[in-house]
């Protein structure tokens, strides 16, 4: 009886071992089958992607990344946040069957798209101008030789230095790729050779042309006493007057560089892309002008396509 019990016990253990082996084998086969299916799916997925598909995805990712950076640097950021909240509320109201609220939100969305285009008109305009800009057309300074550029920069810097010391208000707009003919027509077209003395005469207190902006095109003073649009940025310091707001305003609708001298404090400032940099010294100003004219890469990028996305960051300070 004891022997028979031992044989039965051994047989039971043997059967359990066989069951475990069978289970392991089934798991192995299942994993192998799953792995084969995954490899087959991955192979089909990879084989269906061409090089152009990868390039397409990379371009879209790059465009979205730069577009988000572009939005972050403009007043559109808060508007986009509000739009996202509105879209989220619309989706939730639909899922929760809040029919009346959903109807109102959908109606708001329809009119909101039109309102968004109107509100973001300056940003859209600037973006389209950047995209439409061609490398075949260069601003006048692109063909100036090094000696002329240095002479031009020296004339402007000397004039600005005198304005700063004497606390003479001045607003000098350096035209780049986007022409400023519309603003030039509001003043007096001079088209005269640039010089320190000419700028001094233009902004001399009491002179007929001192009340307005001078537009520099290449190495010539194209126009003076020009009226410029004022910025609508409400976050600027309250102590900034009309001259500073006009300098910022023109850079919001063009790629020009504005040089501003305060008549109250003699502080030298520059504006670019709607951003203001203050408390510049003469050497920094001259370096900025020379970099704009002599650098192989313009301030906002080499290509028109990249200009749409690349914006130089400047700090707004008092």
Name the CATH code of domain 140-307 (choices 3.40.50.2300, 3.40.50.720, 3.40.1700.10, 3.30.590.10): 3.40.1700.10
Encode pLDDT of 178-237 as tens digits: 889 999 999 999 999 999 999 999 999 989 999 999 999 989 999 999 999 999 888 888
Cβ(315)–Cβ(235) below 8 Å = no
Would you list the domain boundaries of the chain? Answer: 51-119, 140-307
Residue 316 has pLDDT above 50, yes or no: no
**E strand or H helix that includes residue 225:** strand 220-226
Predicted local confidence at residue 200, as pLDDT: 96
Give the integer Cα–Cα distance in Å for 19 and 262: 92
pLDDT score recorded for residue 75: 59
- Whether pTM > 0.85 for this model: the answer is no
Q: pLDDT tens across 3-57, in order?
A: 444 554 555 555 655 666 666 667 666 766 666 677 777 776 667 677 888 888 8
What's the burial of 196, exposed, middle or buried (CB within 10 Å: 0-12/13-18/19+)? Answer: middle
CB atoms within 10 A of CB 102: 18
pLDDT of residue 34: 66
Between residues 301 and 102, the one the model is more confident about: 102
pLDDT of residue 223: 97
Identify the residue whose tokens are 């300074």.
141
């Amino acid at each position: 009886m004891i022997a028979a019990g031992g044989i039965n016990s051994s047989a039971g253990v043997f059967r359990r071992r066989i069951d475990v082996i069978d289970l392991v084998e089934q798991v192995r086969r299942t994993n192998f089958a799953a792995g084969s299916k995954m490899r087959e799916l991955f192979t089909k997925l990879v084989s269906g992607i061409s090089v152009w598909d990868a390039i397409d995805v990379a371009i879209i990712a790059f465009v979205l990344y730069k577009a988000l950076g572009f939005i972050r640097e403009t007043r559109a950021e808060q508007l986009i946040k509000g739009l996202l909240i509105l879209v989220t509320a619309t989706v939730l109201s639909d899922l929760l069957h809040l029919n009346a609220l959903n109807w109102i939100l959908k109606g708001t969305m329809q009119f909101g798209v039109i309102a968004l285009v109107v509100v973001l008109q300056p940003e859209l305009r600037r973006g389209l101008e950047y995209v439409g800009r061609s490398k075949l057309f260069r601003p006048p300074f692109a063909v100036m030789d090094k000696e002329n550029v240095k002479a031009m920069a020296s004339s402007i810097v000397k004039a600005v230095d005198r304005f700063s010391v004497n606390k003479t208000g001045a607003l000098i707009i350096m035209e780049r790729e986007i022409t400023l003919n519309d603003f030039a027509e509001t003043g007096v077209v001079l088209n005269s050779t640039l010089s320190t003395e000419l700028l001094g005469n233009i902004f001399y207190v009491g002179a007929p042309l001192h009340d307005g902006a001078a537009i520099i095109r290449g190495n010539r003073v194209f126009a003076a006493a020009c009226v410029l649009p004022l910025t609508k940025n409400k976050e600027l310091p309250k102590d900034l007057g009309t001259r500073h707001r006009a300098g910022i305003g023109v850079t919001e609708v063009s790629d020009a560089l504005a040089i501003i001298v305060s008549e109250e404090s003699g502080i030298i400032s520059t504006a670019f892309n709607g951003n203001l940099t203050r408390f510049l010294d003469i050497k920094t100003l001259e370096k900025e002008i020379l970099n704009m004219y002599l650098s192989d890469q313009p301030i906002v990028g080499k290509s028109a396509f990249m200009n749409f996305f690349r914006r130089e960051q400047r700090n707004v300070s008092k």
